[in-house]
């Protein structure tokens, strides 16, 4: 087995040209390669290849009229889209965390630490809470340390402090572990979802998307491992909508609409703006629509 050697930007440009990519401004292309990186840019070169979406035995030859700047535009589309999604996913995450904390805490006003109360929450969550959540990270937090300093007899800080520091994924697991289905449904119905399984599916989809965006991963060709269920956010008309970016975005729109119609409208406007910026060019339109399911009017 031979290992590949590192290459310089001149070699990288020559290789791209040998595969059929047009590069007009060599100086600018070198600057971009040093900024983004040849390997990372390769994720955006892939759909321009003649053999796409084949991953085995690829020729790496590019389609006719493929330009370096087309690839860069796809990269920046992905970059800008990821930032938009992360902004609105954060809004949903905070809103959901607030709903869970407020509604459950008011249902059980005499249990400040209801998240570890086995009368309220399933033991599957409680049994791993100390190791995976509280002791590993929370006790290092300034506000939690201050709470324990002021209240040394407390094993945990109260729900409104503790849950605020949980990840989106942890809050979803906590919500799923609540024993009283009526409370779970009260929360899901506040987002206009009447079926618990569908609501948890929506939350899991948004959490996956949020984590992908937060880690700066490629988003335009998202393929979800867990399929989206048909429900009030979208009735699945095509199988690929169950796993692609379009389906996930429809969930964002739906949930945002229950939080604030203005925020939902802002999201749609920003999304249309970025599509208009990059998808006017046919080659990019075709790639983005094929990979993500997004359409430009």
* pLDDT tens per residue across span 176-227: 999 999 999 999 999 999 999 999 999 999 999 999 999 999 999 999 999 9
* DSSP assignment of 51-104: TTT--SS---PBPTT-BHHHHHHHHHHHHHHHHHHHHHHHHHHHHHHHHHHHHH
What's the whole-model pTM score?
A: 0.92
Q: Provide the Cα torsion 213, 215, 220, 223; round to 10°.
A: -90
* DSSP letter assigned to residue 112: T
Q: How confident is the model at residue 149 (pLDDT cuts 50, 70, 90)?
A: confident
Centre a 10 Å sphere on the Cβ of residue 119 and count the other Cβ atoms it contains: 9
Range 21-31 average pLDDT: 95
φ, ψ of residue 147 to 5 degrees: the values are -60, -45
Specify the pLDDT at position 1: 44
81 vs 181: CA distance, rounded Å:
36
Decide if pLDDT at 114 tops 70: yes
What is the reported pLDDT for 140? 76
Check: CB of residue 133 under 8 Å from CB of residue 144.
no
pLDDT mean over 98-118:
96
pLDDT recorded at residue 100 = 98
pLDDT value of position 119: 97
User: For residue 17, with 0-12 CB atoms within 10 Å meaning exposed, 13-18 middle and 19 or more buried, which class applies?
Assistant: middle
Is pLDDT of 27 > 90? yes
């Amino acid at each position: 087995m031979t290992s590949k050697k590192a290459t310089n930007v001149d070699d990288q440009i020559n290789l791209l040209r040998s595969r059929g990519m047009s590069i007009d401004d060599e100086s600018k292309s070198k600057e971009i390669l040093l900024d983004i990186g040849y390997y990372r840019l390769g994720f955006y070169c892939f759909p321009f290849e003649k053999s796409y979406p084949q991953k085995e035995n690829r020729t790496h030859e590019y389609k006719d009229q493929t330009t370096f700047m087309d690839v860069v535009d796809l990269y920046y589309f992905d970059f800008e889209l990821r930032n938009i999604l992360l902004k609105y996913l954060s809004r949903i995450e905070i809103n959901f965390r607030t709903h869970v904390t407020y509604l459950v805490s008011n249902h059980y006003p005499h249990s400040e630490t209801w998240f570890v109360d086995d009368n309220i929450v399933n033991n599957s969550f409680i049994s791993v809470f100390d190791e995976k959540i509280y002791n590993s990270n929370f006790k290092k937090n300034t506000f939690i340390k201050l709470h324990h300093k002021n209240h040394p007899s407390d094993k945990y800080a109260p729900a409104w402090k503790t849950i605020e520091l949980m990840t989106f994924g942890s809050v979803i697991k906590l919500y799923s572990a609540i024993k009283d289905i009526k409370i779970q449904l009260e929360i899901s119905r506040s987002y206009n979802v009447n079926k618990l399984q569908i609501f948890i599916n929506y939350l899991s989809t948004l959490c996956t998307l949020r984590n992908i965006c937060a880690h700066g991963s490629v988003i335009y060709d998202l393929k979800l491992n867990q399929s989206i269920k048909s429900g009030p956010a979208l009735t699945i008309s095509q199988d690929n909508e169950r796993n692609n970016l379009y389906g996930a975005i429809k969930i964002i729109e739906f949930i945002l609409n229950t939080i604030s119609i203005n925020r939902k409208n802002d999201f749609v406007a920003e999304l249309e703006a970025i599509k208009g910026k990059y998808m006017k060019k046919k080659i990019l339109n075709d790639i983005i629509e094929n990979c993500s399911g997004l359409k430009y009017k």
